[in-house]
């Protein structure tokens, strides 16, 4: 069991006495609906069985002591529950700190500190939401250690608030929601306009979900993420001059065609086109899945990638290579970049019999073209956060 090793590490670093508790929160992969969650559109992510393990023990004073098994060289990092602010040198600890701060802002102030050891088996910076996973596991353990009354949905919203206001990334709600609300075997069809959602069973008879990790690192804040978001906001306000909508997600493709000339800049028009079409594609994809039409679902995943490549321009050579090589393999049902883009991962649905060929051939072509290797993971859809012991 992984958590037993994390517990051992906790005892080694912080001692084994007292009320030590163990938690887990998953990572996530988005199957379709990319860059729609801050545009009032739909997303279709699922939680994974890989994620973040946390072992924690409440303290009597205000001290915070953090240790990550993923960054062992950094050793124990200390701070206090008072006066928390994000610091560039604080690295990963900005995520748990952001949650403690955000809980305080929402009227749930932790009056004491705690000792924390984390271990994540989500590849770092891969676009599988390792940071949102740390946020949600921290929210979950804060609730449990301090007896706060807070639902998983609220933990997701507080996670987004922490990311936006503490860490300065203007992300949408998808990652924290997918993680906090995850359900084994199901993806979540979420309407980000009002947070209504529905679980959809993912029954891939004879196929698997394969993640290809480009190993090109990406930091959300240094990426063009915030820029894309503001381009969409400007496009929306231009459209609002001619049609009464609240978000780009309110538009059908036909309406977009009719009103797009209100957007005065060609680049912004492309960004808005992606947001509108990707939202409609996501609705259609879930519909196809409900009808067991996996072929159509895969075709829509492929269209999603093309739109992210050509109109939203968030892919890059690494992700395009992974996807374009995947499309060449017999038995690939669909393949696209997933997450924010600019590096990170792709998600593919691959027939069982083609998985080995996929990993071998996409891997070889990628290394030849890019100069370093990609990593591949066959993943399972898991549950949301839990206390393990
Ligand atoms: C990141 C953000 C999400 C979402 C995706 C793109 O993962 O955190 O809110 O916008 O990018 O779909």
CATH number at residue 39: 3.30.230.10
User: Atom 1 of ligand 1 has which residue's CA nearest to it?
Assistant: 340
Mutate to test the pocket of ligand 1, among 48, 340, 343 (most ligand atoms within 8 A of CB): 340
Range of the domain at 28: 2-202+383-387
Q: What is the β-pairing status of strands 114-120 and 63-68?
A: parallel
Encoding tokens for residue 219?
């930091």
Please tell me the predicted confidence (pLDDT) of residue 224. 86
Active-site option among 37, 115, 175, 311: 175
- Does a structural domain hold residue 348? no
pLDDT value at 282 more than 70: yes
State the distance from the centre of ligand 1 to the C-alpha of 192, rounded, in angstroms: 12
3-state SS class at 62 = coil
CB 226: neighbour CB atoms within 10 A? Answer: 15
C-beta of 120 in contact with ligand 1 (< 6 A):
no
Please tell me the predicted confidence (pLDDT) of residue 221. 46
Please tell me the predicted confidence (pLDDT) of residue 127. 84
- Does a structural domain hold residue 71? yes
CA dist., res. 156 & res. 161, Å (int):
9
User: Atom 9 of ligand 1 has which residue's CA nearest to it?
Assistant: 172
Mutate to test the pocket of ligand 1, among 29, 31, 174, 224 (most ligand atoms within 8 A of CB): 174
Percent of the chain with pLDDT over 90: 94
Atom nearest to 173 CA in ligand 1: 9
- Does a structural domain hold residue 190? yes
- Specify whether the CB–CB gap between 178 and 188 falls below 8 A: yes
Atom nearest to 225 CA in ligand 1: 11
State the distance from the centre of ligand 1 to the C-alpha of 229, rounded, in angstroms: 10
Task: Name the residue with tokens 């987004």.
Answer: 160
CA dist., res. 24 & res. 19, Å (int):
17
Please state the length of the chain: 389
C-beta of 339 in contact with ligand 1 (< 6 A):
yes
The contacts of residue 354 (CB under 8 Å, 6+ apart) are: 329, 330, 331, 332
83-142: per-residue pLDDT in tens?
Answer: 999 998 899 999 999 999 999 999 999 999 999 999 999 987 788 999 999 999 999 999
Does residue 265 carry a catalytic annotation?
Answer: no
State the distance from the centre of ligand 1 to the C-alpha of 19, rounded, in angstroms: 36
- Specify whether the CB–CB gap between 137 and 145 falls below 8 A: no
- Does a structural domain hold residue 371? no
Task: Name the residue with tokens 């990707």.
Answer: 278
190-237: per-residue pLDDT in tens?
Answer: 999 999 999 999 999 899 999 999 999 665 545 789 899 999 999 999
- Does a structural domain hold residue 223? no
- Specify whether the CB–CB gap between 212 and 334 falls below 8 A: no
- Does a structural domain hold residue 134? yes
Looking at the structure of the chain, the number of domains it has is 1
The contacts of residue 263 (CB under 8 Å, 6+ apart) are: 235, 238, 239, 269, 272
Mutate to test the pocket of ligand 1, among 175, 311, 343 (most ligand atoms within 8 A of CB): 175
Percent of the chain with pLDDT over 70: 98
> For the chain, what is the radius of gyration of the CA atoms?
21
CA dist., res. 81 & res. 97, Å (int):
8
State the distance from the centre of ligand 1 to the C-alpha of 248, rounded, in angstroms: 16
Query: Helices 130-146 and 152-165, interaxial angle, to 10°?
Result: 120
Of 142, 19, 127, 133, the residue nearest 81 (C-alpha): 142
375-389: per-residue pLDDT in tens?
Answer: 999 999 999 999 999
CA dist., res. 127 & res. 339, Å (int):
5
- Cα of first residue to Cα of last residue in the chain, in angstroms, is 12
The contacts of residue 1 (CB under 8 Å, 6+ apart) are: none
Q: Any idea which of 33-42, 222-231, 241-250, 280-289 has the lowest mean pLDDT? A: 222-231
User: Atom 11 of ligand 1 has which residue's CA nearest to it?
Assistant: 340
pLDDT value at 296 more than 50: yes
Strand order in the sheet with 63-68: 77-80, 63-68, 114-120, 45-58, 21-30, 386-387
Atom nearest to 340 CA in ligand 1: 11
3-state SS class at 308 = helix
- Does a structural domain hold residue 176? yes
Q: What is the mean pLDDT of the chain?
A: 96
- Does a structural domain hold residue 246? no
């Amino acid at each position: 069991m992984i958590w037993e090793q994390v517990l051992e590490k906790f005892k080694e670093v912080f001692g084994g006495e007292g009320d030590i508790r163990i938690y887990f929160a998953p990572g996530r992969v988005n199957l379709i609906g990319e860059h729609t969650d801050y545009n009032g559109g739909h997303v279709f992510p699922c939680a994974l069985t890989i994620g973040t393990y946390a072992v924690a023990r409440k303290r009597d004073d205000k001290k915070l002591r953090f240790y990550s098994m993923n960054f062992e060289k950094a050793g124990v990092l200390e701070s206090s529950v008072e006066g928390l602010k994000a610091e560039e040198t604080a690295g990963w600890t900005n995520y748990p700190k952001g949650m403690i701060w955000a809980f305080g802002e929402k009227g749930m102030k932790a009056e004491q500190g705690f000792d924390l050891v984390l271990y994540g088996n989500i590849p770092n910076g891969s676009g599988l939401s390792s940071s949102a996973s740390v946020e949600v596991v921290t929210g979950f353990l804060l609730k449990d250690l301090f007896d706060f009354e807070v639902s998983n949905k609220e933990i997701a919203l507080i996670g987004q608030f922490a990311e936006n206001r503490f860490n300065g990334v203007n992300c949408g709600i998808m990652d924290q929601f997918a993680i906090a609300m995850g359900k084994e075997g199901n993806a979540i069809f979420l309407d980000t306009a009002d947070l209504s959602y529905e679980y959809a069973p993912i029954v891939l008879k004879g196929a698997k979900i394969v993640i290809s990790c480009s190993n090109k690192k990406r930091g959300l804040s240094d990426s063009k993420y915030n820029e894309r978001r503001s381009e969409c906001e400007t496009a929306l306000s231009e459209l609002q001059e001619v049609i009464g909508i609240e978000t780009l997600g309110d538009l059908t493709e036909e309406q977009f065609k009719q009103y797009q000339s209100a957007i005065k800049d060609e680049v912004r028009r492309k960004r808005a086109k992606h947001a509108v079409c990707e939202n409609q594609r996501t609705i259609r994809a879930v519909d196809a899945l409900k009808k067991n039409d996996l072929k159509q679902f895969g075709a829509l995943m492929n269209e999603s990638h093309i739109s992210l490549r050509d109109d939203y321009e968030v892919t890059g050579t690494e992700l395009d290579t992974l996807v374009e090589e995947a499309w060449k393999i017999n038995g690939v049902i669909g393949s696209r970049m997933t997450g924010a883009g600019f590096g990170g991962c792709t998600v593919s649905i691959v027939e069982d019999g083609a998985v080995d060929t996929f990993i071998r051939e996409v891997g070889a072509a990628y290394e030849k073209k890019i100069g370093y290797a990609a990593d591949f993971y066959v993943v399972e859809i898991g549950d949301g956060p839990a206390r393990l012991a």
